[in-house]
Amino acid sequence: EVQLVESGGGLVQPGGSLRLSCAASGFTFSNYAMHWVRQAPGKGLEYVSAISSYGSSPFYANSVKGRFTISRDNSKNTLYLQMGSLRAEDMAVYYCAREYCSGGSCWNYFDYWGQGTLVTVSS
Amino acid sequence: QSALTQPASVSGPPGQSITISCTGISGDVGSYNLVSWYQQHPGKAPKLMIYEVSKRPSGVSNRFSGSKSGNTASLTISGLQAEDEADYYCCSYVGSRLYVFGNGTKVTVL
């Protein structure tokens, strides 16, 4: 069974940093591109960042570019999001999501999601 | 990248069909047949319902269908059931390995 379990959320002051983790199980993690999507309280989904299966070529939404860094450790089946210079508008539930990939190609949709971890930015 | 435009809410009685629209621009919905739809119940993670405009993952009811015309994609739910009451989000690939979501539609079963 595919499982994605996020952790690392919590309360952080504006300007602070936080690292989120997403532990994957039930599939060959190194074969799949992975993504972060967030949802502010009472708001819609917002795309955040992507990383390829082998960990190169990270991509970021303009809203987090230069402040967030996505990475992965395929030996630990874990995805990360290092968040810095946090702002009030970064407060959200952060989901990790798997992009469906097969035969070496990925297909631009998210077939599994974690339950999310809440990041609260407040002084 | 601005969010795709969805109606804030759509409702219907059990058994009826409803359609949720998702309007983008030529750079997103209009350029790629890579629109997906996600269902989200309160406090839960999103669930994939439709991918590549009109394809249904295994396990998703055939009451859910998708289509696209120009810059607008649509999700139709036929035979509306109480369990369909949820928020629905469209998502489009926009190039450079990035995506944009719709602002979300709350579906209410009357």
State pLDDT tens for residues A29-63. Answer: 999 999 999 999 999 999 999 999 988 889 999 99
Is B38 in the A-facing interface, judged by CB distances under 8 Å?
yes
Across the interface, of B38, B45, B101, the residue whose CB is closest to A46 is B101
Burial (CB count <10 Å: 0-12, 13-18, 19+), residue B84: buried
Q: What is the DSSP string of A31-65?
A: GS-EEEEEE-TTS-EEEEEEE-TTS---EE-TTTT
Amino acid A33 reads A
Chain-chain contact of A109 with B52 (C-beta, under 8 angstroms): yes
Q: Which residue has the tokens 């959320």?
A: A9
- Who contacts A87 (Cβ-Cβ below 8 Å, separation ≥6)? A14, A121
Q: In whole angstroms, what is the distance from residue A15 CA to residue B64 CA?
A: 43
Residues of A with Cβ-Cβ distance to B103 under 8 angstroms: 44
Q: Give A116: exposed, middle or buried? Use CB within 10 Å, 0-12, 13-18, 19+.
A: buried
The pLDDT value given to residue B79: 96
Amino acid occupying residue B41:
H
Measured CA to CA, the distance from residue A123 to residue B65 in angstroms comes to 46
Closest chain A residue to the Cα of B41, Cα to Cα: A115
Nearest CA to A74 out of A7, A29, A19, A23 is that of A29
| pLDDT tens digits along B62-101 | 999 999 999 999 999 999 999 999 999 999 999 888 899 9
Q: Give the separation between CA B19 and CA B67, rounded to whole angstroms.
A: 10
Q: Assess whether pLDDT exceeds 90 at residue A118.
A: yes
Contact criterion met (CB < 8 Å) for A45 and B48: no
Nearest residue on chain B to A35, alpha-carbon basis: B98
CB contact under 8 A, B97 and A100: no
Residues of A in contact with B51 (CB under 8 A): 100, 107, 109, 111
State the amino acid at position B38 in one-letter form: Y
Does residue B27 have a pLDDT over 90? no
